[in-house]
Amino acid sequence: MSFTGNIKGWTITEMLQLIRQLKKTGAMVVQIPSEFGDEIQKRVFFRNGLVIAVDTGSEDLGAILLEENMITRADLDAAISLQKTHKDKRIEQILLGMKKVDAPRLVKAIRIQIDRVITALLQEKSAQVSFDPDAALTVQGLANGVDIQGIMLSASVKVDELELVRQKIPSTSLVPHITKRGKEEQGEISLKLVEWKVFLAIDGKTDIKTLALKLKMEEVSVMKALVVLLDGKWVELPQAQADTRKKILAVDDSKVILKTIQMALAETGYSLITAESGKAALELVKEQQPDLILLDVMLPDTTGLKVCKTIRSEFDALKDTPIVMLSAKDAEIDRNLGLHAGANDYVTKPFKDGELVQVVEKFLKNSN
């Protein structure tokens, strides 16, 4: 059995197995319908049946390098600054050229990225899959590919684990609280090291997603530890209560920038929601009614200036909601264009964590 052209109608698992079996070279193209009515495209690149790279459409490899401590925040800021004059280069290429990351670390980051993307893809039920044998590699890839079978096995285990913990923890936006029993028995509780790390990090204001970021752990690992703590009645999830935290919507098509925003705001106690396109942003504005919006100027489907004008003209309930434009452009005219579109402030990339927090607190700390 063989195929040379673009085939549709296969599941992701079937396509992965077929590519491996026939030792194909090219790209598996996955079209995923988003909750906002558009489609997200992801590509998994193969050479002779071995996976060598993935392209998710945003620069998540730089985010992995950062969260895995392979680069510093200063390294990333320098790379973002250089990207202003090297727009055709991805963040990881710039970091490699700057010698801020070496080849072995980049290989490790690519393997982590492949594992994460395929784990997520195996959970997609409504994706459309095809194969493009002529696809050119568009991202940094491995010189020696890895067998998809091993990735699929470990990914399927993670998927199964996630399905089990989801029965008790339906969302990573929930904020865990230590119970009275947990406080009273803290000196006597017998837990594994990972479970203790999670228990001691719970402060009653940080959601699960941010806990994982602060602890530098995978979300599923944090959730598994929480299940143990919930079973012991040392921790509770007040699911029946509405999240009363102030909400910040961050809009940027780069996962690197979204990760830096998430890290900058991790200690503030605000609830962070994200969007990677103008369309998704406007849907979330309508549904979530955020208390503050961090809005990138350049988006894949429109501009932040247009999104800002739309919010100001079509959402009466948000006419006074603070909007902070984020942009790599630092000229006075660009700042004035942002303010003229209806923004309340303008922050230039790369930004320091303290600078972003200061701007956010200026608008939210004393607001009702």
Residues 6+ apart with CB under 8 A from 314: none
Q: Please report, for the chain, how many H helices and E strands are present, in that order.
A: 15, 12
Residue 367: which pLDDT band, with cuts at 50, 70 and 90? low
Please give the Cα distance from 123 to 315 (Å, whole number): 35
Q: In the predicted model, is pLDDT for residue 246 greater than 70?
A: yes
Q: In the predicted model, is pLDDT for residue 7 greater than 80?
A: no
Q: Which residue has the tokens 């004059």?
A: 85
Please give the Cα distance from 189 to 213 (Å, whole number): 25
Quick one: pLDDT at residue 8?
Answer: 55
pLDDT tens-digit profile of 316-339? 888 889 999 998 888 888 889 999
Residue 9: which pLDDT band, with cuts at 50, 70 and 90? low
Select the more confidently predicted residue: 6 or 182: 182
Average pLDDT score over residue span 216-226: 89
Of 283, 168, 294, 289, nearest in space to 235 by CA: 168
**Three-state DSSP class for residue 86:** coil
The tokens describing 186, both together, are 């803290």
Judged by average pLDDT, the poorest of 190-194, 243-247, 269-273 is 243-247
pLDDT tens-digit profile of 354-365? 999 999 999 998
Q: In the predicted model, is pLDDT for residue 236 greater than 50?
A: yes
Give whole-number Cα distances, 219 to 55, 166, 169, 235, 358, in Å.
Answer: 22, 11, 11, 17, 28
Among positive and negative, which fits the CA dihedral 358, 301, 130, 48?
Answer: negative
Tell the burial category of 42 from Cβ atoms under 10 Å away from its Cβ (0-12, 13-18, 19+). Answer: buried
pTM of the model: 0.81
DSSP string, 236-270: E--TTS---SPEEEEE-S-HHHHHHHHHHTTTT--
Residue 239: which pLDDT band, with cuts at 50, 70 and 90? low
Quick one: pLDDT at residue 35?
Answer: 72
Quick one: pLDDT at residue 40?
Answer: 85
pLDDT tens-digit profile of 122-178? 888 888 898 999 999 999 999 999 998 888 888 777 777 777 788 888 888 888 999
Q: In the predicted model, is pLDDT for residue 5 greater than 60?
A: no
Judged by average pLDDT, the poorest of 26-40, 43-57, 296-310 is 26-40
Contact 177, 204 (CB under 8 A): yes
The tokens describing 221, both together, are 């690992």
Contact 53, 61 (CB under 8 A): no
Give whole-number Cα distances, 231 to 27, 182, 217, 247, 274, in Å.
Answer: 44, 11, 21, 30, 31
Q: In the predicted model, is pLDDT for residue 289 greater than 90?
A: yes
Q: In the predicted model, is pLDDT for residue 2 greater than 70?
A: no
pLDDT tens-digit profile of 81-129? 898 888 788 889 999 999 999 999 999 999 999 998 998 888 888 888 9
262 alpha carbon, distance to own chain's centre: 9
Quick one: pLDDT at residue 50?
Answer: 95
Select the more confidently predicted residue: 13 or 249: 249
Contact 84, 327 (CB under 8 A): no
Contact 321, 343 (CB under 8 A): no
Question: Mean pLDDT score of the chain, rounded to an integer?
Answer: 88
Average pLDDT score over residue span 12-18: 90
